[in-house]
Structure 1
Amino acid sequence: MENANQTDDAKTIQLLSKGIMELYEPPLATINTHLKELTERQEAVHSMLASERRRLEDLQNDAMVDALLADIATNRERLVTISNSMMGLHKRVHSLQARAAAVEKVAKSRAASQNKPAGS
């Protein structure tokens, strides 16, 4: 009798399990399908965001390079201006040195002529 009871219990358990599976399996399959779709969409959005982020970083890097190139052009102009000023100052110094040498020569010749006795 105990063996028959166990067999009935096993059949009851199988029927209950089958009923629960028939009840919950379709919604679980639908949920699984929806989760797969959501995961795929999430991955697509993630890849789009990553692509957009890379594009923005590239644009930012390009802007930084453009700013550096603009700085190079500005600094080159300053350097050319300073160089021209230095060349002008060098010419003026050279001219003043030549003039100072001429003035010194004239001053020496005057001093020499003043130091000479009148009779010579």
Structure 2
Amino acid sequence: MKNCLIVDDSKVIRKVARHILEDLNFQVSEACDGQEALDQCSSQSPDIILLDWNMPVMSGMDFLTAYRDRHVQDGAKVIFCTTENALDHIQAALEAGADEYIMKPFDRETLQAKLQMVGVA
């Protein structure tokens, strides 16, 4: 069973994403900010990370940069899941090491398609 780390400061988004991912047979863990996610990734390596952009303590971009610095070869697939829809944000995320990008709000079909695109579904 593949595992996914949901990183989002919104409890509602984490709950919705968890429901979808568990229905797709993922084992799910959660973090409410980038620092908590980075700490979790030190002890357990997820297959996929669903990552919000704007969070307190450590933003999604700061997390992604730190995560990719530590996990160059063996890192998880990272899908940004955010309301940031400007082309420069998307390009910056992809250049920083994100594998895909989803706009909020999202549904099961959108998330499942992105998981298939990055090769984890």
Fold match by TM threshold 0.5: no
The structure that has the greater radius of gyration is 1
Give the TM-score normalised by the residue count of structure 1. Answer: 0.13
- Judging by fraction of residues, say which structure has more helix: 1
Give the TM-score normalised by the residue count of structure 2. Answer: 0.13
